[in-house]
Amino acid sequence: MKNKLKANLLLLGVALLVIAADQASKLFIQRQLAFGQEWLPFPPSDFFRIVNWQNTGAAFGIFQNANTVLKVLTSAIILFILGYYQTIPYAQKFVRVCLAIMLGGAVGNLIDRFRLGYVLDFIGVGRFPVFNLADSCVTVGVGLLILALLLEDKNSRARHLKEAGLEQHPPED
C-alpha cells in the first residue's frame, strides 16, 4: 500500500510539473504575441521561431476542426495511461516517469481543448510543424518509454538465460 501511494505521488508530481510548465508557457505566449505573430530569438535566421498558433487538429496539423473527437480520444488515452501505470512494478521507476511525462503532456493539451477550443502551439523549428511543450513531453515520453521497455525486455531475457544456466559468454581468444 505504501509503495502504491509513493508510486502514485510520483505520477502526480511529475504530471503536475509538466502541466504547470506547459500552461505557464502558453499563457506567456498568449500575453506576449498576438495570434499569428512571430518572434525570432536568433535573428536574422528564422530557423527557430516563437509563434502564437492555434491547432484545432492533432499532431502535424492532421484532423483539423476535430476538437470534440480529439477531446474524447485524448481523454481515453489519459485513462489508459492511468490504468496502465497501476500495473507497472514499483521498481520500474523509469517507466513510471515516462508515463507521468506523457500524462502531463496529454492533460496540458486537453486543458487547451476545453479552455480555448484549440491547442496553442508556439515552437517553430525549420519546416517542422509548430508544436508546444506538452507535445514535446508526449513525444519524448513515448520515445523514452519504448527505450525503457526494450531495455527491460533485454534485461529480462538475460535474467532468464542466467537462471536457466544458458548465459552467453564472450568467445575466448
- 93: cell is 521507476
- Give the CA-trace dihedral at 78, 5, 139, 27, to 10 degrees: 80
Q: Is residue 90 part of a domain?
A: yes
Q: Name the domain count of the chain.
A: 1
Q: How far apart are the C-alpha atoms of 25 and 31, rounded to whole Å?
A: 10
Residues 6+ apart with CB under 8 A from 162: none
Strands (E) in 23-80, as ranges, are 38-39, 48-55
DSSP 91: T
Predicted TM-score (pTM) of this structure? 0.86
46-83 pLDDT per residue, tens: 999 999 999 998 877 778 888 899 999 999 999 999 99
Q: Is residue 169 part of a domain?
A: no
Q: Can you tell me the mean pLDDT for 17-41?
A: 96
Q: Is residue 173 part of a domain?
A: no
Q: Is residue 29 part of a domain?
A: yes
Instruction: Please name the helix (run of DSSP H) or strand (run of DSSP E) that holds residue 120, with its range, or none.
Output: strand 119-125
138-171 pLDDT per residue, tens: 999 999 999 998 988 888 787 777 888 776 666 6
Residue 140: domain span: 2-163
Active-site annotation, residues: 121, 135
Residue 115: what are its φ and ψ, rounded to 5°? Answer: -75, -40
Cβ–Cβ < 8 Å for 103, 75:
no
pLDDT of residue 36: 94
Q: Is residue 83 part of a domain?
A: yes
